[in-house]
Structure 1
Amino acid sequence: MTSELSADTQDVLEEIEEKNVDFLRLQFTDILGTIKNVSVPADQAEKAFTEGIYFDGSSINGFVRIQESDMRLDPDPETFSVLPWRNDGESAAARLICDVIDTSTGEPFAGDPRGVLKRAIQRAEEMGYTVNAAPEPEFFLFEEDEDGRATTDTNDAGGYFDLAPKDLAQDVRRDIIFGLEEMGFDIEASHHEVAQGQHEINFTYDDALSTADNVATFRAVVRAIAAEHDLHATFMPKPIPKINGSGMHTHMSLFTEDGENAFHDEDDEFDLSDTAKSYLAGILEHAPAIAAVSNPTVNSYKRLVPGYEAPVYVAWSDRNRSALIRKPAARVPAASRIEARFPDPSCNPYLAFAALIHAGLDGIENDLDCDDPVRENIYEFDEAKREEYGITTLPSNLGEAIDALEADEVIQDALGEHVYENFVEAKTQEYDEFRVDVSDWELDRYLEKF
């Protein structure tokens, strides 16, 4: 790869010099969503843009085999940002999010999660739409022990929207917000969530690719700044039993080429267009398979149980939060959207968004009908009433979700053959390891009883 420097690239090179950046972290994610990076001295920046940076892909989870290991990172100049916790005023480090290129073909690597999302976005564009998204990732802040290891002891006793003195993490959230803003985030709101030690910071609606980049960055920033306060931030969906877990409610909408919100119809009872309803129906249709991607850990299904405000019922509502998808109130037409409430923040955001987009577009292409919204509290339904309403449930564990994914060609196609096969292999291994393990709960309950 050799190319002329674009105006965006020139701007980045100037900013590197102006801000005394000495190291660049070239960032990408593996299939499971773990951030990886290759660090290079800042004087290699121009080379990174014109020639790319090569690395061994065989050492990355789910990427390639040893005999086909050479991969290349192509940095996206629009993702340049100085890391606030590595900026002392005299020197700084910055990150660039990269696309992964298969050096044997010169084409985007099929196993790059960012590339998977780009393919979903391209499909939407071919249908005349751009995709916007806004997630609400929740997280817990825990104390560290004397060795710096994470505990599950929360550092506050706050509840939903509480203030100090109960919400002792206000200063941490403030520093996180300042750090995110330094990296270019537009923060809408932050607050203490329902559970002790649980928090939420919301950033503004953006295109789906930028939003997925932001989720990956958000998790890294939260962890880094929490560590500066001697706290451990975790996006584990259910770190403490019998209280609310952490979700990542994801708002989505489509816009047409002329900038109109394709989800809005002022003549509809719910202000939703037929396009929006078909998109919504597509997500409901494929929700069990999407769950394997959007709720990808054994622990994810400890959150997805009735009674803790997590959605498990495959239905939608314009009023309450017991359904899988909610239609939030919108003050202006541009804000009409749907909210998928089942994803959690342990997911790979690139893959989760891709699965949601392909499912929704499949609903549009097949003109799927959307059932009426359920306005009652589904948590209070018994099994007979759920059957009466035709309401099914999400998979109850990761094994069932993998089975659903293996039966759903639409979500398989969303991931692509390479990612699908490696993802299922990794997640099947994870679930098998869980099944043969013996938990403390089992020992406490059965060891002396039998």
Structure 2
Amino acid sequence: MSSFAARCGIHDERREARAQQLSRLIGESGIELVRFVWCDLHGVTRGKTLAAPAALRALREGVGMVSTLMLKDTSDRTAYKVFEPGGAAQLPGFEFASNLILLPDLSTFRQLPWSPATAWLQCQPWFQDGTPVEYDTRRVLQAALRQLGDAGFAMKCGLEIEFHIYKIVDTHAQLDPAQADWPGQPPNVAMIHPGYNLLTESWFDMAEAALRIVKDTAQALGLPLMSLEIELGPSQVEAVFDATDALTAADNMVLFRNGVKQALRRAGYHATFMCRPPFPNIMSSGWHLHQSLVDAKTGVNAFMRESPSHGAGREDAAHSLTTVGEQYLAGLLQHARAAAVFCTPTANGYGRYRPNALAPQSVLWGRDNRGAMLRVIGECADAATRIENRVGEPAANPYLYMASQIHSGLDGIRRQLKAPPATQAPYAATNDKLPTSLAEALDALRGDDVMADAFGERFIRYFTHIKQAEATRLDDAKDKDDFQRREYFSRI
């Protein structure tokens, strides 16, 4: 009888050879446990850990997963009433918390540097009849990349991620059974550096023990880490990664974020990718996504211009971007408000959009302007010419963040949109503003027909339904600070 992977149409001779190779590796390396992991809607890794003998079978047969894991909001509450008649009518296959099957991408196999004799495989969900689950966010990005490929392009992305690391003082409140709640308390923490001394070497030295764990973890996982830096805020740091293809970059973000949290936790630290941790006098963290298109056949940067367009001034996109680059830029601007909820998916993240804070507030672009939402980097004949989107928060699901950029940019290319002049005043009161709340961002997405068509109306309904549950609970919360402390700081 054929394996489940074969019935799904993905198990060919090449995959079988890889499965046999991994079987030998698991046996020869003394691996005892294998984590079969899936990235959920909120960018959190979930899954099951199998003993080595069971893991060998799961390479071909997969691992069962309760389908409600795909229906959770950020509190881990199921946002659909799956046990009520019609409660999951819009989601066939999810009724009554039925099972899905996780099948691993065998190319993602890694041994975890912080967990002895433990390996890791990234998976994607399938229905039991062998059809793919379209709501899986990795599939959403894969579908967007196929559309991009049909247009003759591929995408490269570089990651620039700000986050906070704290030293755990005690976990009494978090682990005291008498204080258990849903969601629970975070640990009590202290800072690893006092902040407000950007890039200072002495603060790096103070934080080096934690940052070495970050470095060692990233490199042991094979991630293209370039630098670790002290950011402006207290206990805030930044990691910068070299550019890769978009799917690899998204996978790397998932692996980095969750791996770093686990490795630091074992050493007595609490890392959070929450945008604005629940303390006074902190600085918001952003995730700046550097992106460019390349010719799918030649790999040549499709944004790079050899010389400025005739008559173009430095305020014009055509001064350093090709026609395709300008059209892509214009598409990002056209759909910026609708895409905001994919770039900043938590209610907490909208506190970052404020003037004169090295964070965007308005829908505009600038030439090497860190106050603008979109920063065009590179002069003529620069092979690294790219667009940096500064709107994202580090908690964003990377697959949805990148897919939103592709769909926005492709619309600009298809409609041959022209970008406005570069801003000289990114915080002017008259500028078209980004959404200021999760609820406003959801409304902007619902009102954008192009994005609904690109992502698919069923996915948009699914996504907005779950995110609306989060927004509604925040609105109803008596203590909104405590809501964010438990829901975001404790978990993200």
TM-score by length of 1: 0.89
CA displacement, residues 309-332 of structure 1 (integer Å, 9 cap, x when unaligned): 211111111121111000123696
Distance of 1:136 and 1:154 partners within structure 2: 22
- Residue 63 of structure 2 aligns with which residue? 53
Q: Is residue 2:66 matched to residue 1:37?
A: no
- 1:273 paired residue number: 322
Change (3 A) 1:116 1:15: same
Distance 1:360 1:353 in 2: 11
Indicate how the Cα distance of structure 1 residues 242 and 164 shifts in structure 2: closer, same or farther if over 3 A, else same: closer
Shift, 1:333, TM fit: 3.6
Checking the alignment, whether the CA contact within 8 Å between 2:307 and 2:380 is kept in structure 1 is: no
Equivalent in the alignment of 2:76: none
Secondary structure, aligned partner of 2:302: coil
How many residues matched? 428
Offset at 1:251? Answer: 0.6
What SS does the aligned partner of 1:50 have? helix
RMSD of aligned residue pairs (Cα, Å) = 2.2
Aligned with 2:191 (options 150, 154, 158): 154
The residue number in structure 2 matching 1:21 is: 31
Identity, in percent, stands at 32
The equivalent residue for 1:141 is 165
Q: Judge which range, 11-20 or 237-246, deviates more.
A: 11-20
Query: Aligned partners of 1:349 and 1:166: how far apart in 2?
Result: 28
The change in CA–CA distance for 1:441 and 1:22 in structure 2 (over 3 A counts) is closer
Counterpart secondary structure, 1:306 = coil
1:15–1:146 Cα change, 3 Å: same
Tell me which amino acid in the other structure corresponds to 1:141: I
What is the alpha-carbon distance in structure 1 between the residues aligned to residue 453 and residue 21 of structure 2? 37
Mapped to 1, the partners of 2:54 and 2:454 lie a distance apart of 35
Q: Which moved more, 1:283-292 or 1:161-170?
A: 161-170
- Provide the rounded CA distance (Å) in 2 between the counterparts of 1:440 and 1:408: 29
Cα shift at 1:59: 4.2
**Mapping 1:68-217, distance limit 5 Å:** 69-87=98-116, 92-104=117-129, 106-147=130-171, 149-151=186-188, 153-158=190-195, 159-164=197-202, 167-217=205-255
SS of residue in 2 equivalent to 1:266: coil
Q: Could you report, residue by residue, the CA deviation over 1:246-272 in whole angstroms, capped at 9, with x for unpaired residues? A: 100001111112211111111126431
* TM superposition shift of 1:349: 0.9
Gaps of at least 5 residues in structure 1 are 443-450
Q: Distance in 1 between the 2:468 and 2:17 partners? A: 46
The within-5 A match list for 1:426-441 is 426-439=466-479
Contact 1:180–1:218 at 8 Å: present in 2 too? Answer: yes
Which residue does the alignment assign to 1:253? Answer: 292
1:284-337 Cα shifts (integer Å, max 9, x gaps): 111111111111111111111223221111111112111100012369643111
Contact 2:164-2:273 at 8 Å conserved across structures = yes
C-alpha distance in structure 2 between counterparts of 1:19 and 1:362, whole Å: 48
SS of the residue corresponding to residue 38 of structure 1 reads: strand
Equivalent residues of 2:192, 2:207 under 8 A apart: yes
Contact 1:142 1:153 in 2 (8 A): yes
Q: Quick check: 1:142–1:150 contact (8 Å CA) kept in 2?
A: no
CA shift for structure 1 position 65: 2.6
Which of residues 272, 278, 299 is equivalent to 1:234?
A: 272
Deviates more, 1:10-19 or 1:314-323: 10-19
Post-superposition CA distance 1:129-169 (Å, at most 9, x none): 11111121211112323226434642211432122356522
Cα deviations by residue, 1:54-89 (Å, 9 ceiling, x for unpaired): 3221344258633472322121121111111112xx
